[in-house]
């Protein structure tokens, strides 16, 4: 028998056990009801009995007593049956038979389980007893004997039943009972327990000479005495209810242990796990009352097996994800027998977010429901089986190849994957999923193990494909398989591999889970689309007004499918809103509102079975009021004003519309909702998040949730005011975001005018490839990349150099230059994908609007300098009037370029610094790993980093330092009012102590100066410090002030969080 079979058999047994107990309980109640006549009791018993059998629905029971027959209505003679006699006073008075009316799977005794036979025997025994008792009562009554039989208590009956039907369980229960008694302080119990357990006292008495000898287990010789002793103690010390309640709970916990066993075993497959969960739930979920620790344990095990091993994730998820959620999940999972796969990052993210929001609804934190679309999942290891099944193994080496090669071969890889075949089990699963989705369009999304993990947002790196899901079943299935294969192939695409290489993830064994998700929307005419959709960020990195804070968040919202909000589209704009400052809109004048509004929308055309981009205007003319929420989405242009559509006057054929979402923002609670959702998720995920959402006009759906990539270095620079004009390379005054830019050595400059005047598309593409090559050749994060308009333009590449992220990923700063031509000012990119990558990689983005009064660019720095392009890439010399590479160090005697940015002042200034310039910020480089937990509070990170450095340099021998502890207020995340503290344990005295004091004071002042420069604070110290001789007694002083995180800085080998 395979382990899977064993497993399922085991679970089945468990399930039966519970049914039995429930039934026996009821049986006892019945038999003790003096008001019911015998016949009624028989009929009720056989009816209720059915449910205690494995296949209750096809189970029929017949009871014959003397000349009477009772049955459950459909008893059939010819089927296999179980039978037990009813015996009263040593005479057979009848029998009871159980059969299945239809074919049931083969089990131990025909289709029946052994336990079922035992149960039947028990029932027969109890009924016999009852019949005998009734007869006795009659006789005694006739003799007018009033003495009644001693009444057995209910719990004893239950326990006796268990003893008969399941001796091992009975023993376990007994042992638990004994412990319970012992806890309660019953002396006899202690004695009994001593009998049973390993005698530890004895060991101590034996002395040390025998310590290698195994401890002896006590063997119990007289079971019956032992048992009756415990039962007696139980009845003396607990009430009836108490005992029954405990027994019931223990039995349930006993059931769970099977599930836990399956989950904890590394070897158990997903099939086994889902079976175990199903079994577990068949034991009537509503009655299950598990101890909190068991529940947590189960949740963690399930999260680990289904979602991820990521401890941070599990830590959060275990508080929100319920067992029932997994139970619902397993029915929607497609996997191969023996699979050990997971669902992947995207699925896990949305699963967790949804559960967090659900629990927030329950706590009334969130006053409305958030849904997630119906989703099916293919587990992550299916891709491995797919590769194996189609003999595509050589693909695994792909990720170690040269990137150019990968790029070149990618089309063939795609083709190979698409030609592959799926295993029958998967096809069956997909087919089931399609039946579930019906005719609703679906989206096939990647959900890889790496994707959406903390710190690595693979936004847009892998594919997501829409399917109209129309036509015959076979057509739909083919389209679905094709899409899955395509998503699989995208794992081996150049961009993801590049991205992984860059963040040291290339060796990680990448597996690709798939989410097949219902597309949120409604059918309108031939089209299917959501009323609106978009993406929301809890941190706003695109602040268009200094009044908007990062925490105000950012919403990119479009009509129709969210693709146009998520992706960069060169010819259209999503509506941008900061949920925390909804009144501060990006566009103020009507002209702006018209220009920067979404003109197109993505829909699914159900007639042509295709994903399609349509004109918003044309669609409104076509469908008008059929468009859900249309009046909240658009405004009408009338009399040079944007007005909300008046339901009486509006004419969808004739009026001019602009997508503004004004109605939704002003008349609905959408924004507050969105803001609340973002805040809840950010709080619970403990990092800024971004979510994708959509609405069909009625309900709000969450499509994705993941940590928002963020940088820790977001403090504002102090902009030098005394920089000599001839040293200023550029200055910018619009859309400045904070972020430290390292000292730069090179400038790569694509001349906007020269670029736009290039005659052919080929030449423009050549510029992109030159940039890509330079990106590989120049030292990482040591150069700034400047060019016209939108970096990464796809469609009209005249707007900007058509690079992909991997062609610019080594620069330290990316600058987009906007220069007005006539009245036309080029638009700079507001793309998210690219942008997030930049943020993730700490590549700073800066728009340079040269037409702003305070913006300038000194081109002559570049034009007058030697253009390194001809040396580095001689084959592209013909582009040396378009692409300029300048070595600042070479041109300015070892100098460097430093870009100072300050978002609060809306100012950025790039200055050529002399060779002697060193950066004070160098000390903030990377946050200390030990202080990672501090998350986004830059101030504490910076202080920690600084202190760590100088403690490392301290002369510990001289100062007689035993240890150094660094204390950070535990709530440093939320507040920075409390100063961190340094606890120096030293035996220094007298002059030495004074010297130590002054050493620390100097550093304190020093750091305070740095702090006040960046933080604008007015405190006198950067940290508190205490010098003492005993760590424990000093620490107690801090406990009075509040809770602290303590890090041992010295000796360094103990460097870790102590509390």
Looking at 507, 656, 753, 1030, which residue binds other proteins (CB under 8 A)? 656
What is the residue whose two structure tokens read 């039947």? 120
Q: Which is nearer to other proteins, 850 or 1027 (CB)?
A: 850
932 secondary structure, DSSP code: G
Residues between 834 and 853 that touch other proteins (CB under 8 A): 850-851, 853
Q: How many helices (H) and strands (E) does the chain have?
A: 34, 34
- The least distance separating other proteins from the CB of residue 547, rounded to whole angstroms, comes to 5
Q: How far apart are CA 1047 and CA 138, in angstroms?
A: 82
Q: Tell me: does residue 962 bind other proteins (CB under 8 A).
A: no
Angle at 32 between CA 30 and CA 38, to 5 degrees: 65
Stretch that binds other proteins, among 402-410, 499-507, 585-593, 802-810 (CB under 8 A): 585-593
536: exposed, middle or buried (Cβ count in 10 Å: 0-12, 13-18, 19+):
buried
Q: Tell me: does residue 639 bind other proteins (CB under 8 A).
A: yes
Q: How far apart are CA 814 and CA 771, in angstroms?
A: 12
Q: Tell me: does residue 26 bind other proteins (CB under 8 A).
A: no
Q: Which is nearer to other proteins, 413 or 801 (CB)?
A: 801
Q: Tell me: does residue 915 bind other proteins (CB under 8 A).
A: no
Q: Which is nearer to other proteins, 827 or 1011 (CB)?
A: 827
What's the per-residue H, E or C state across 334-389?
ECCCCCCCCCCHHHHHHHHHHHHHHHHHHCCCCCCCCECCCEEEECCCHHHHHHHH
- The least distance separating other proteins from the CB of residue 579, rounded to whole angstroms, comes to 14
- The least distance separating other proteins from the CB of residue 822, rounded to whole angstroms, comes to 5
Q: Tell me: does residue 822 bind other proteins (CB under 8 A).
A: yes
Q: How far apart are CA 440 and CA 421, in angstroms?
A: 25
Q: Tell me: does residue 617 bind other proteins (CB under 8 A).
A: yes
Stretch that binds other proteins, among 182-190, 478-486, 635-643, 668-676 (CB under 8 A): 635-643
Looking at 1, 219, 641, 648, which residue binds other proteins (CB under 8 A)? 641
Cβ(931)–Cβ(1003) below 8 Å: no
What is the chain's percent helix, strand, coil content, to nearest 5?
45, 20, 35
- The least distance separating other proteins from the CB of residue 641, rounded to whole angstroms, comes to 5
> How many residues belong to the site for other proteins (CB under 8 A)?
35
Q: Tell me: does residue 580 bind other proteins (CB under 8 A).
A: no
Q: Tell me: does residue 916 bind other proteins (CB under 8 A).
A: no
Stretch that binds other proteins, among 94-102, 115-123, 796-804, 878-886 (CB under 8 A): 796-804
Among residues 704, 675, 668, 361, which one has the least CA distance to residue 539? Answer: 675
Q: What are phi and psi of 156, to 5 degrees?
A: -65, -35
Residues between 870 and 899 that touch other proteins (CB under 8 A): none
Q: Tell me: does residue 667 bind other proteins (CB under 8 A).
A: no
Q: Which is nearer to other proteins, 481 or 578 (CB)?
A: 578
Q: Which is nearer to other proteins, 148 or 640 (CB)?
A: 640
Residues between 528 and 557 that touch other proteins (CB under 8 A): 544-547
Name the token pair of 1. 């028998």
- Tallying the residues shown for the chain, one arrives at 1059
Q: Tell me: does residue 594 bind other proteins (CB under 8 A).
A: yes
Q: Which is nearer to other proteins, 249 or 798 (CB)?
A: 798
Q: Tell me: does residue 638 bind other proteins (CB under 8 A).
A: yes
Q: Which is nearer to other proteins, 789 or 969 (CB)?
A: 789
Q: Tell me: does residue 856 bind other proteins (CB under 8 A).
A: yes
- The least distance separating other proteins from the CB of residue 607, rounded to whole angstroms, comes to 23
Among residues 252, 349, 267, which one has the least CA distance to residue 305? Answer: 267
Q: Tell me: does residue 567 bind other proteins (CB under 8 A).
A: no
- The least distance separating other proteins from the CB of residue 826, rounded to whole angstroms, comes to 8
Q: Which is nearer to other proteins, 799 or 1046 (CB)?
A: 799
Q: Tell me: does residue 798 bind other proteins (CB under 8 A).
A: yes
Instruction: Label the pairing between strands 610-615 and 600-605.
Output: antiparallel
Cα–Cα distance list, 91 to 126, 149, 363, 858, 971 (Å): 15, 21, 63, 114, 79
Q: Tell me: does residue 760 bind other proteins (CB under 8 A).
A: no
Q: DSSP letters of 197-237? A: S--HHHHHHH-STTTTSPPPPPPP--HHHHHHHHHHHHHHH
Q: How far apart are CA 53 and CA 100, in angstroms?
A: 10
Looking at 149, 219, 364, 588, which residue binds other proteins (CB under 8 A)? 588
Q: DSSP letters of 425-479? A: HHHHHHHHHHHHHTTS-EEEEEEESSTTBTTB--TTTS-EEEE---S-HHHHHHH
Among residues 482, 343, 342, 480, which one has the least CA distance to residue 415? Answer: 482
Build a one-symbol-per-residue string for 112-151: x at contacts with other proteins by CB under 8 A, - elsewhere: ----------------------------------------
Q: What is the dihedral of CA 608, 614, 618, 620, to 10 degrees?
A: 90
Contacts to other proteins by CB under 8 A:
544-547, 571, 581, 583-586, 588-590, 594-595, 599, 617, 637-641, 656, 796, 798-799, 822-824, 826, 850-851, 853, 855-856
């Amino acid at each position: 028998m395979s382990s899977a079979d064993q497993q399922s058999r085991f679970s089945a047994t468990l399930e039966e056990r519970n049914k039995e107990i429930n039934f026996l309980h009821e049986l006892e109640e019945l038999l003790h009801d003096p008001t019911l006549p015998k016949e009624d009791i028989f009929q009720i018993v056989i009816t209720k009995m059915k449910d205690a059998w494995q296949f209750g629905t096809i189970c029929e029971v017949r009871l014959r007593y003397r000349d009477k027959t009772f049955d459950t209505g459909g008893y059939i003679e010819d089927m296999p049956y179980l039978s037990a006699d009813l015996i009263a006073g040593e005479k057979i008075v009848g029998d009871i038979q159980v059969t299945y009316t239809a074919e049931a799977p083969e089990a131990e005794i025909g289709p029946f389980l052994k336990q079922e036979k035992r149960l039947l025997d028990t029932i027969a025994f109890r009924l016999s007893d009852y019949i005998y008792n009734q007869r006795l009562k009659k006789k005694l009554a006739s003799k007018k004997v009033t003495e009644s039989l001693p009444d057995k208590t209910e719990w004893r009956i239950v326990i006796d039943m268990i003893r008969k039907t399941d001796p091992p369980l009975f023993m376990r229960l007994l042992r638990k009972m004994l412990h319970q008694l012992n806890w309660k302080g019953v002396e006899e119990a202690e004695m009994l327990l001593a009998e049973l357990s390993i005698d530890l006292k004895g060991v101590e008495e034996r002395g040390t000479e025998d310590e290698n000898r195994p401890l002896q287990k006590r063997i119990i010789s007289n079971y019956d005495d032992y048992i009756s002793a415990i039962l007696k103690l139980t009845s003396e010390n607990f009430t009836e209810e108490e005992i029954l309640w405990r027994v019931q709970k223990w039995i349930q916990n006993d059931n769970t242990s099977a599930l836990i066993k399956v989950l904890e075993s590394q070897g158990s497959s997903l099939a086994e796990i889902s079976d175990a969960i199903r079994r577990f739930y068949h034991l009537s979920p509503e009655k299950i009352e598990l101890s909190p620790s068991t529940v947590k344990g189960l949740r963690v095990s399930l999260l680990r097996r289904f979602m991820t091993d990521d401890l941070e994730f599990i830590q959060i998820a275990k508080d929100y994800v319920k067992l029932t959620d997994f139970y619902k999940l397993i029915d929607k999972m497609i996997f191969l027998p023996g699979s050990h796969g997971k669902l992947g990052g995207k699925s896990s993210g949305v699963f967790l977010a949804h559960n967090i929001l659900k629990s927030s609804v329950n706590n009334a934190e969130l006053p409305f429901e958030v849904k997630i679309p119906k989703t099916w999942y293919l587990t992550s290891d299916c891709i491995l089986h797919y590769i194996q099944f189609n003999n595509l193994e050589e693909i695994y080496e792909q990720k170690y190849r040269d990137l150019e090669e990968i790029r070149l071969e990618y089309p063939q890889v795609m083709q190979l994957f698409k030609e592959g075949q799926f295993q029958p089990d998967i096809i069956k699963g997909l087919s089931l999923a399609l039946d579930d989705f019906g005719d609703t369009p679906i989206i096939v999304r990647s959900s890889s193990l790496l994707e959406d993990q903390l710190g690595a947002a693979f936004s847009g790196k892998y594919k997501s494909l829409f399917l109209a899901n129309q036509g015959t079943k076979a057509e739909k299935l083919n389209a679905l398989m094709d899409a899955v294969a395509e998503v699989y192939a995208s794992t081996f695409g150049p961009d993801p591999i590049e991205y992984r290489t860059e963040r040291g993830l290339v060796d990680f064994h990448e597996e690709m889970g798939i989410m097949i998700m219902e597309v949120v929307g409604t059918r309108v005419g031939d089209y299917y689309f959501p009323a609106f959709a978009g993406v929301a960020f809890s941190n706003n990195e695109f602040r268009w007004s200094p009044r908007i804070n990062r925490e105000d968040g950012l919403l990119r919202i479009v009509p129709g499918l969210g693709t146009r909000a998520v992706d960069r589209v060169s010819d259209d704009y999503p509506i941008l809103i900061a949920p925390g400052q909804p009144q501060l809109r990006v566009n103020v004048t009507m002209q702006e509102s018209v220009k920067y509004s979404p003109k197109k929308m993505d829909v699914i055309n159900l007639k042509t079975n295709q994903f399609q981009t349509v004109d918003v205007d044309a669609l409104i003319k076509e469908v008008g009021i059929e468009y859900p929420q249309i009046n909240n989405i658009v405004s009408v242009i009338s009399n040079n004003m944007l007005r909300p559509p008046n339901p009486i006057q509006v004419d969808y054929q004739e009026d001019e519309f602009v997508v503004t979402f004004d109605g939704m923002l002003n008349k609905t609670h959408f924004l507050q909702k969105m803001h609340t959702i973002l805040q809840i998720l950010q709080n619970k995920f403990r990092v800024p998040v971004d979510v994708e959402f959509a609405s069909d006009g009625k309900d709000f759906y969450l499509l994705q949730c993941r940590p928002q990539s963020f940088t820790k270095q977001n403090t504002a620079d102090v902009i030098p005011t005394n920089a000599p004009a001839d040293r200023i390379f550029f200055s910018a005054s619009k859309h400045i975001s904070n972020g430290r830019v390292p000292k730069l050595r090179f400038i790569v400059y694509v001349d906007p005018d020269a670029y736009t005047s290039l005659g052919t598309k080929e030449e423009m593409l050549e510029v992109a490839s030159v940039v890509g090559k330079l990106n590989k050749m120049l030292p990482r994060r040591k150069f700034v990349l400047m060019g016209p308009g939108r970096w990464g333009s796809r469609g009209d590449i005249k707007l900007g150099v058509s690079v992909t992220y991997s062609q610019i990923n080594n620069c330290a700063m990316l600058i987009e230059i906007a220069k007005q031509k006539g009245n036309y000012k080029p638009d700079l990119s507001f793309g998210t994908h690219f942008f997030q990558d930049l943020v993730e990689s700490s590549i700073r983005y800066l728009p340079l609007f040269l037409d702003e009064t305070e913006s300038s660019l000194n081109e002559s720095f570049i034009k007058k300098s030697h253009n390194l392009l001809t040396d580095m890439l001689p084959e592209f010399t013909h582009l040396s009037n378009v692409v300029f590479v300048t070595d600042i160090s070479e041109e300015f005697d070892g100098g460097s370029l430093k870009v100072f940015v300050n978002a609060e002042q809306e100012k950025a200034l790039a200055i050529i610094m002399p060779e002697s310039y060193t950066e004070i910020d160098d000390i903030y480089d990377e946050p200390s790993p030990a202080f990672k937990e501090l998350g986004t509070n830059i101030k504490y990170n910076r202080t920690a980093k600084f202190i760590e450095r100088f403690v490392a340099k301290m002369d510990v021998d001289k100062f007689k330092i035993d240890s150094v502890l660094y204390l950070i207020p535990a709530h440093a995340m939320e507040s920075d009012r409390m100063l961190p503290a340094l606890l120096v344990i030293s035996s220094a005295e007298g002059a030495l102590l004074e010297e130590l004091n002054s050493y620390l004071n100097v550093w304190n002042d020093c750091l305070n100066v740095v702090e006040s420069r960046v933080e604008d604070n007015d405190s006198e110290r950067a940290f508190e410090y205490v010098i003492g001789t005993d760590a424990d007694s000093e620490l107690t002083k801090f406990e009075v002030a509040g809770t602290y995180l303590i890090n041992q800085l010295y000796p360094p080998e103990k460097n870790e969080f102590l509390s």
